[in-house]
Amino acid sequence: MKPLAITAGTVLSAIGRGLAATEDALLARRSGLTPCDFAGIKTGYVGCVPQAGTHVLEGVAPGFTCRNNQLADMACAQDGFAQAVQKARQFYGAHRIAVVLGTSTSGILSAEDAYEALDPVTGAPPPEFDQAHTQDLFSLPRFVAARLGLEGPILSVSNACASSSRAFVDARHWLEAGLCDAVVVGGADSLCRMTLRGFAALGLVSAEPTRPCDAQRTGISVGEGAGFVLLEREGARSGAGVMGRWVGYGVSSDGHHMSSPDPLARGAVAAMREALERAGLDASQLDYINLHGTGTVVNDAMEDHAVHTLFGRSVPCSSTKGWTGHTLGASGIIEAMFALVMMRAGFAPGCLNVQQIDPTFNSHVLTDTLHKPVQRVMSNAFGFGGTNCSLIFEGV
């Protein structure tokens, strides 16, 4: 495939606001996980973004205020992202910039709060509850388009934990079809009761900070965050700087099970192989693989099998969820931005909290920071229902 340029980008998670803070936390091996005390739920650890719930939205229509949009707004205000989009808007026109964003739960916390406040007589939610601008899956791209003054087509992608990775693919289709000249791509997912209690009900929440790839791993830590990139055809806009290039992708849907991955990893292998083929690369040309690496017994084992099938032990890999927790539909964009940070700074982070790598694993799992030039990174996202997406990024 012809590479696309990433001309601006930003990331927000429990480890920091913006690229510099993220790089610092990754290099310092400083986790953002803390004991869960969200909405009265005290189960395991979470990656919570401070001030998210009190952040004030300005310059948009009333009704958009919800935790998910607050995270998105905080991200838009970082790293000069809104200013970079404004320059692109001046060049292309507001109607030629699309917004394609991934989320798995959108602003469902607002609906949960509204349900708790139902009128006991009529059963009606409180009058200030605006479902279309908060809980609805289209709330996020509608808000971001309004926030950035964009008038092009918008799309919400909800493919479970692969949502914001898959958003890259749909954005590319729109660029190739000529529907737009640039796309704001990314996503956001926020903490809510349904996610915390739902994963706990499945027995997937670790009582301690998640430790992906560890022999004694016991599950996930749920996180939240947001991130965006501005994706353009390289060279289309003179003067636009390039942070990195998106050079390959692979997608598959194996439909093995509602919530458990295929132990033979057929869908994961297909997605990674397709990404390599589209990028015109062989396995030896990757410098690092950012694993989906949730910290559950079955997910990590499946992904180790998939990576070893294609790469053997030749490419170092690790999961970064020990820093942020599993940010669900936002994990793809957050970890894509981690890839850009790693390529810029020249390092690959080893998994956090690992005491002993699972002895059954055969891939090259890192447990310490590896300082070396990093030019190409594969980032994996595998979601419930067997939706798989692998992206390959290249430095400049």
Specify whether 305 is catalytic.
no
Element (H, E) at 17: strand 16-17
Element (H, E) at 32: none
299 in Cβ contact with 71 (< 8 Å): no
Q: Could you give the 3-state DSSP secondary structure of residue 140?
A: helix
Extract the tokens encoding 12: 């927000």
Of these residues, 36, 133, 326, 351, which one is catalytic? 326
User: Residue 37: CB partners within 8 Å, gap ≥ 6?
Assistant: none
168: nearest Cα among 365, 393, 10: 393
Q: Angle at CA 278, nearest 5°, toward 177 and 182? A: 35
Specify whether 326 is catalytic.
yes
Specify whether 161 is catalytic.
yes
Residue whose tokens read 């803390």: 34
Question: Cα(394)–Cα(281) distance, rounded to whole angstroms?
Answer: 11
DSSP annotation of 220: B
DSSP calls for 227-238 = EEEEEEETTSST
Element (H, E) at 43: none
Alpha-carbon torsion, ordered 317, 322, 323, 325, to 10 deg: 120
Of these residues, 36, 48, 76, 161, which one is catalytic? 161
Exposure letters 211-231 (e unless 16+ CB within 10 A, then b): bbbbeebbbbbbbbbbbbbbb
DSSP calls for 296-359 = -HHHHHHHHHHHHHHHTTSSEEE--HHHH-B-GGGHHHHHHHHHHHHHHHTEEPPPSS-SSB-T
User: In whole angstroms, how far apart are CA 220 and each of 109, 168, 377?
Assistant: 20, 25, 23
Of these residues, 66, 192, 213, 292, which one is catalytic? 292
Q: Is 301 left (phi over 0), alpha (psi -120 to 50) or beta?
A: alpha
DSSP bridge pairs for 226: 12, 188
Enumerate the active-site residues. Answer: 161, 292, 326
